[in-house]
Amino acid sequence: MNSKVQELRAFLGHAGRIALVEVAATKGSTPREAGAFMLVSASSIFGTIGGGQLEYMAIDKARQMLSPREGEMAAKRPEGGVSEGTGKASSTAAATPPGGSAATLPSRGGEARIEVDEVCATLDVPLGPEIGQCCGGRVEVLIRLVDGSLERQLIANAQSEEARLPNVYLFGGGHVGQALAASLSLLPIHVVVVETRSEALEGMPETVEARLTPMPEAVVREAPARSAFAILTHDHALDFLIVAEALKRDDTAYVGMIGSKTKKATFRNWFLKSAEGSEAQFSRLVSPIGGSAVKDKRPPVIAALAAAEIMTALVSHAVEAPRSAGADKAMAG
């Protein structure tokens, strides 16, 4: 399994001198939120602050800092984590996006203010027609040359963020399972594909964890709270066992099962009569996954719809959880 932390480490280790471009503050409508960042080297980029002219300008300024011209600030990225530089400058900026002409950054007083202090620059950019971007808000971008200390901080932050990612358990590696794993692998979540057949786990995306087990229903019991479960194995009886385990937990963000209305009705009858389930528990089941608005049963289409459905459920559950915790605390008080 290849994680985002590993990708970050690889970029930091092979890109040479690097600048960190970070959204420090926002006002109004903006492409990304405060805290969003990207890393810029002389020839490559890791991450994004939203694209468009704003990003082109930030990349241009970052590369100016990485390769300073005569008379500008010069800096290094030493091993010990202490950057060296000379001079302190303040200037207005003109950035040249790929295939475009230079654009001057407008600000409150006309041209934008770019403050440069040794290894740091701040861009204050209004997102209006002057730069060909009509979001209407305002973004403050902080650009810093990456030294050893900042590199360690970036890795630690990435590890912390990765540990907080929501968990999605995908049971079944058939045609739809493979397609859904590929769709989910692009999202900021931790995906675990569970299978009883080793060959069904072959070809999974590098960022997906593959887990081979003879008892997939046991994985449900061990999963962290607020996990999502998508069940689409090759065996309806196995589907029923896994779904029953998931529905009996009251801390799940999503429980979905692939299938038809007939399969759902059959499961309901078995769940209530033989698995000691309740109507309240059964009502939380999403089946078929991906909804029924789009009448297309091709695996990639089902996967795209299901991925959107799962992500929506995870976000909604994350919003509701703090509210519930706050309410419980207020009642206890």
Tens-digit pLDDT profile for residues 290-317: 998 898 999 999 999 999 999 999 998 8
Average pLDDT value for residue range 238-252: 97
Token digits for 6?
């590993």
Q: Are 69 and 89 in contact (CB under 8 A)?
A: no
pLDDT tens track for 200-232: 999 999 999 999 999 999 999 999 999 999 999
Average pLDDT taken over every residue of the chain: 83
Give the predicted TM-score (pTM) of the model.
0.75
Residue type, 152: R
Domain edges within the chain: 4-160, 165-328
**């061990």: which residue's tokens?**
222
Own/partner pairs, 26-29, CB within 8 angstroms, 24+ separation: 26/137, 26/138, 26/139, 26/140, 27/137, 27/138, 27/139, 28/127, 28/135, 28/136, 28/137, 28/138, 29/127, 29/135, 29/136, 29/137
Residue 109 has pLDDT above 80, yes or no: no
Range in 115-119, 186-190, 282-286 the model is least confident about: 115-119
CATH, domain range 165-328: 3.40.50.720
Find where tokens 């029924």 sit.
292
